[in-house]
Structure 1
């Protein structure tokens, strides 16, 4: 009993609830400040888990492993709840009943992170959680083999990796391996979702999501680092077969789809040139959406993903042709203060994406789709119901966003501030007759930075009808979402 009490006292002295600045996030990095110590008369100085500066509020769950705080282990929790009204695409059904519109309540993301610098050279990272959990989770009532489905099967490991810092206290080279979102193509292929400006990320940038990856994560060997103004990450990945995606793969036809035969490695890389402050670099992969005026960031970026014979299609009636997956992008990102005295800041992103999934590849996707089926076929494609639109396809996409952080004392008395934003995704796909435009307009109420915020978002999107071998826009629909995010 005495030993147990002593152990509890030691843990209590080291494991405390501390707060980081409100702009920190799952993909953020805060350099450990000078270590604070607790001393009583007649007692030796010992390490404390407190890592902020004197006088700041604290809400960080972190345990320091050494006196300086350079070795630590940390746990974070995040939940995003959606209340949504959606105008359904034509033909939409919900549990076999036609629905012109829907209202649903869901959990967009629920996550737990556990990570830390456990020695001078070793970093450990895990993330566990679930996504897109609404009333249709586990639907249909029976799987294709006739067994009952289970709405409780949702949570899984998103990330599990170890990373080795080659040069002590220098970010020049980090080598890691495991299940990871370290990615090529763009910053939005590996977003820190707790710190984004908009309610949700442009998911098209997570190019193979849930097709040959696990919610954008892959089993990879990677190297990343920062050398002067250059930030880089390169990876060789072992993609999952499309047969393990949980959905019935499309039949082999004249349009390209992920191949059901063969297995090749995937190569990817992302390179950034940083003109002013350096970006956060602690958590593997994840890139911050906005620092809320705490940093001065201007970057140019270029990225790619390539995989040989990843796709296939049928020429004529018998010949099977394999095609490479080749994706690349260039973009610029800006996030900086406008007036440091009032706390105003601006955030902007503009990117060009050249996407080659093979001839006429096209995939509809609806985020946490509130509909279960459709009675109206669109080009023989699946998943066209509810709030879906052509999110992934062979062609060219331009994506842009702009946000403005208003003054910190907007409501007075520490009641938070507002961050309004706009988004636009313009896609020129081979299989679509006209350029697709999806537009979002929204506002964040930052109650306590990213740690507690409400977001109201309106999206306007096109819906489609069959036009020969292509699809053509036939009108537009909208959805309105209120999200509450809490993060510690």
Structure 2
């Protein structure tokens, strides 16, 4: 009974300050200690993001009825837990749901859109002080910092969508099942992984045998190598990301990259990464036979976050260039063979860190595709109001996207609380 009472009373806030959240009154979250020193523990994190979006353009449903311009959305509702009873190994589980709205609600909460699912479940083993290996459903991704972005502390309203470059195509919601290694060599941090690709990804198309790109029915490559060619030829994907830390070193204890430190650290990193999926895509040759094509994505990026004085002001800036080869003339949803440039910059105004702080920001992305002449350009302009760092904040953002004949805009207000 005394042990049980000790465990129940051990549910308290950690003494370690998590600078990533930039909160004046938050010291690490809910932590169940299994010993007096806190070296054996279970940590629990929970967060919710709720949005109201106003679409500036008219839109219609499948029956021709005009859609409401104002819509509400539970963007994310998540719980993450990880535990160590020994410094040499760790287990993590992360579950929740995404984008629950009037179209995905179900009468009794049993529809697909209402279901919780695991985002991450992995086991990890330390190899010395600075290195570890692990396996499971994991988020140790390659390509770029934004492909490893945390959803707890983004500066913009959400991540740049195309930076999650394989989401649903080779993985489950930006997570693969596989093995990974991570660590650091002096100031160089690394993460590499060998994974099983998803069999039934978002791209369920089948090559239609048309090889003339001028034919209006031509579709180019299809990202379905494992489904169409089998796992022996197209089952494995390989990923890696490497970043050098010139100033303050960031933690790599968990894979989730911080979006903005709000001046809590002075960080300047340059990174590079890749994703390779042999025979990940399929096209039809001139004889009508299915042939595999390698998917290869590469990116370089830079991240800077630093205080600008002792008055609480700070800057956050990020830029990346990404080369995307999903196969010959691949174009599906927002993804396509071509290239992408993306950047954002934000400025935290000076002020009392114990009071509400404001951070205006701007972002821009341009995606070019081999299959079409038009580029997809996305511009965002917003402001964050931090009432307790990232733990309690409001974000208002205007976004405009233009691609071909489509030019649409939206205004979104998001409330987020993270415990």
The answer to whether TM tops 0.5 is yes
Q: Distance in 2 between matches of 1:57 and 1:255?
A: 51
Q: Contact (CA 8 Å) 1:273, 1:301: kept in 2 or not?
A: yes
SS in 2 for 1:421: strand
Tell me by how many angstroms 1:395 deviates.
0.2
- 2:244 is aligned, of 249, 273, 280, to 273
Structure 1 unpaired stretches of 5+: 31-54, 142-148, 365-390, 464-472
SS in 2 for 1:9: helix
Say yes or no: does 1:357 pair with 2:357: no
Tell me by how many angstroms 1:67 deviates.
3.2
Q: What does residue 339 of structure 2 align with?
A: 396
Question: What is the TM-score when the length of structure 1 is the normalising length?
Answer: 0.77
Q: What does residue 415 of structure 2 align with?
A: 484
Q: Contact (CA 8 Å) 1:79, 1:486: kept in 2 or not?
A: yes
CA change 1:277–1:312 in 2 (3 A) is same
Q: Contact (CA 8 Å) 2:20, 2:260: kept in 1 or not?
A: no
Q: What does residue 368 of structure 1 align with?
A: none
- 2:376 is aligned, of 436, 448, 452, to 436
- 1:288 is aligned, of 258, 262, 286, to 258
- For residues 226-265 of structure 1, the aligned pairs below 5 Å read 226-241=184-199, 243=200, 245=201, 249-253=204-208, 254-259=219-224, 260-261=227-228, 262-263=230-231, 264-265=235-236
Instruction: Spell out, residue by residue over 1:4-60, the C-alpha distance to the aligned partner (whole angstroms, 9 max, x if none).
Output: xx34532243222457657445xx9x9xxxxxxxxxxxxxxxxxxxxxxxx966572
Q: Contact (CA 8 Å) 1:19, 1:57: kept in 2 or not?
A: no
Q: What does residue 458 of structure 1 align with?
A: 398
Tell me by how many angstroms 1:88 deviates.
4.7
Q: Contact (CA 8 Å) 1:22, 1:449: kept in 2 or not?
A: no
Structure 2 unpaired stretches of 5+: 209-218
- Which is higher, the Rg of structure 1 or of structure 2? 1
Q: Contact (CA 8 Å) 2:391, 2:417: kept in 1 or not?
A: yes
Aligned residues: 402
Q: Distance in 2 between matches of 1:212 and 1:138?
A: 27
SS in 2 for 1:193: coil
Instruction: Spell out, residue by residue over 1:454-488, the C-alpha distance to the aligned partner (whole angstroms, 9 max, x if none).
Output: 0001001114xxxxxxxxx2252101100000001
Q: Contact (CA 8 Å) 2:25, 2:388: kept in 1 or not?
A: no
Instruction: Spell out, residue by residue over 1:417-453, the C-alpha distance to the aligned partner (whole angstroms, 9 max, x if none).
Output: 0011111001111123133211000000001000000
- 1:158 is aligned, of 109, 119, 123, to 119
Question: What is the TM-score when the length of structure 2 is the normalising length?
Answer: 0.89
Q: Distance in 2 between matches of 1:475 and 1:125?
A: 42
Q: What does residue 327 of structure 1 align with?
A: 297
SS in 2 for 1:194: coil
Q: Distance in 1 between matches of 2:26 and 2:48?
A: 22
Q: Contact (CA 8 Å) 2:195, 2:236: kept in 1 or not?
A: yes
CA change 1:70–1:11 in 2 (3 A) is closer
Instruction: Spell out, residue by residue over 1:246-267, the C-alpha distance to the aligned partner (whole angstroms, 9 max, x if none).
Output: x671131341111232222101
Instruction: Spell out, residue by residue over 1:203-233, the C-alpha distance to the aligned partner (whole angstroms, 9 max, x if none).
Output: 2111121222110000010100011110000
SS in 1 for 2:69: strand
CA change 1:204–1:14 in 2 (3 A) is same
- For residues 129-144 of structure 1, the aligned pairs below 5 Å read 129-137=96-104
Q: Contact (CA 8 Å) 2:119, 2:173: kept in 1 or not?
A: yes
Q: Distance in 1 between matches of 2:115 and 2:96?
A: 8
Tell me by how many angstroms 1:94 deviates.
2.4
Instruction: Spell out, residue by residue over 1:157-200, the C-alpha distance to the aligned partner (whole angstroms, 9 max, x if none).
Output: 00000111111xx22x1101000111000111111111111010
CA change 1:280–1:250 in 2 (3 A) is same
Q: Distance in 2 between matches of 1:408 and 1:19?
A: 25
Q: What does residue 112 of structure 1 align with?
A: 79
RMSD of the alignment, in Å?
2.5
Tell me by how many angstroms 1:319 deviates.
2.7
Q: Distance in 1 between matches of 2:268 and 2:27?
A: 29
SS in 1 for 2:60: strand
Q: Distance in 2 between matches of 1:450 and 1:483?
A: 12
CA change 1:56–1:130 in 2 (3 A) is closer
CA change 1:114–1:314 in 2 (3 A) is same
Q: Contact (CA 8 Å) 1:18, 1:57: kept in 2 or not?
A: no
SS in 1 for 2:5: helix
- For residues 18-417 of structure 1, the aligned pairs below 5 Å read 21=17, 23-24=19-20, 58=27, 60-88=29-57, 92-94=59-61, 96-99=63-66, 102-137=69-104, 150=111, 153-167=114-128, 170-171=129-130, 173-241=131-199, 243=200, 245=201, 249-253=204-208, 254-259=219-224, 260-261=227-228, 262-263=230-231, 264-283=235-254, 285-316=255-286, 318-339=288-309, 341-364=310-333, 391-409=334-352, 414-417=354-357
